[in-house]
Chains A and B, each alone.
Chain A
Amino acid sequence: DAMVIQNPRYQVTQFGKPVTLSCSQTLNHNVMYWYQQKSSQAPKLLFHYYDKDFNNEADTPDNFQSRRPNTSFCFLDIRSPGLGDAAMYLCATSSGLTSTRHTFGSGTRLTVV
């Protein structure tokens, strides 16, 4: 089945140690999104790619970066995780900017110790 896959499901990292979360998709969708969801809060968009065009939300901290080496993969890099970055990170895709439907992965829960 076509899907959005996030690895790992659970990630523990040390305070200040760079960490990378990954997302892959078999849907061949043009758009990939990264949302951050802190405990008991709504998901909030960090950035998105339309093909290779990167679009950062205005309030996304500089500590968060992203890479999309090809259509299938997108990575979220946190350069120096702080305790406040502990959250569920959700990857989603959509077929294009005229499509409103997102397909979500199962998420990666990040713990910072």
Chain B
Amino acid sequence: GNSVTQMEGPVTLSEEAFLTINCTYTATGYPSLFWYVQYPGEGLQLLLKATKADDKGSNKGFEATYRKETTSFHLEKGSVQVSDSAVYFCALSAGREYGNKLVFGAGTILRVKS
């Protein structure tokens, strides 16, 4: 079946530190991969996505590369800010036969201290 595993949090960093949040997936076929961000009390916002192997998604200084050989999609940012504090969800799209539903990882809380 389809599943996503991401590193447990919370992750606590100082401002301007380097961020990595690991994400690996199990899927049939070739899913699209996503990172979503959720701020307290809010819905989900798409941060970035990649639709095929070796694609790199990027947005707001965040990057993630679709690695088929390691079934991974790790999120990175070179210099985090306090405003990046949120919950980050890795997700895959389960395919047309499943209505392209999203399957999410458990989420990783990021706390950035000034």
Contacts and interface: CB of A to CB of B under 8 A. Distances in A.
Contact of B96 (A48, A97, A106): A97
Contacts of A98: 96, 100
B104 A100 contact: no
Contacts of A100: 32, 34, 49, 51, 93, 100
Interface residues on B, range: 20 to 34
B45 A45 contact: no
A67 to B, nearest CB: 17
Contact of A31 (B44, B99, B107): B99
B42 A102 contact: no
A57 B99 CA distance: 10
Interface string B20-54: 00000000000010101000011111100101000
Interface residues of A, number: 29
Nearest to A10: B41
Interface string A84-113: 000000101010011111111111010000
B106 interface: yes
Contacts of B51: 100
Contacts of A82: none
A70 interface: no
Contacts of B104: 42-44
A43 B101 CA distance: 11
A101 B46 CA distance: 9
A102 B46 contact: yes
Interface of B: 32, 34, 36, 41-46, 49, 51, 89, 93, 96, 99-102, 104-107
Given A100-B49, A106-B42, 10 more contacts: A41-B107, A42-B89, A43-B104, A97-B99, A97-B100, A99-B100, A100-B100, A101-B46, A102-B44, A104-B44
16 contacts: A35-B102, A40-B107, A42-B89, A42-B105, A42-B107, A43-B44, A43-B89, A43-B102, A44-B104, A50-B99, A55-B99, A100-B34, A100-B51, A103-B46, A104-B43, A105-B43
